[in-house]
């Protein structure tokens, strides 16, 4: 039976794969982002990932980054209205800042 974190990653990856189907409603993209937050929180709390889960998460993140421009065109207000207190480690909320937005939080996490 997969762990809760593995299940979250699996669902996030499925949503990222079928992102076009989730572009009808802003709420669906927000759900995707919140799912990613839960994963990030678990990782920062010390959760360990199997290699396959790490690969799945990395691939899903890469898909999200590749679709950045489409997301910005479809939901500009999601990024314009982003609360000021959203942590930078939640890089997906900062896609409007460019394709390298993920690099800073990832580099910071590797230094720990």
- Give me the tens of pLDDT residue by residue for the chain, a chain 112 residues long: 358 999 999 999 999 998 888 777 888 899 999 999 999 999 999 999 999 999 999 999 999 999 999 999 999 999 999 999 999 999 999 999 988 888 866 554 544 4
What pLDDT was estimated at residue 78?
Answer: 92
Cα–Cα distance measured from residue 22 to residue 3, given in angstroms and rounded to the nearest whole number: 25
Distance (Å, rounded) from C-alpha 70 to C-alpha 23?
Answer: 9
Contact 20, 74 (CB under 8 A): no
The full DSSP string for 66-87 is: HTHHHHHHH-HHHHHT--TT--
- Cα–Cα distances (Å) from 112 to 3, 35, 37, 68, 86, in that order, read 24, 23, 19, 28, 21
């Amino acid at each position: 039976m997969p762990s809760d974190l593995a299940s979250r990653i699996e669902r996030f990856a499925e949503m990222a794969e079928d992102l076009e189907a989730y572009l009808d409603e802003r709420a669906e993209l927000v759900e995707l982002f919140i799912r990613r937050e839960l994963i990030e929180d678990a990782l920062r709390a010390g959760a360990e990932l199997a290699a396959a889960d790490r690969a799945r998460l990395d691939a899903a993140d890469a898909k999200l980054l590749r679709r950045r421009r489409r997301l910005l065109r479809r939901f500009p207000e999601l990024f314009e209205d982003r609360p000021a207190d959203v942590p930078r480690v939640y890089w997906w909320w900062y896609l409007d800042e460019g394709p390298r937005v993920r690099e800073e939080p990832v580099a910071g996490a590797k230094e720990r």
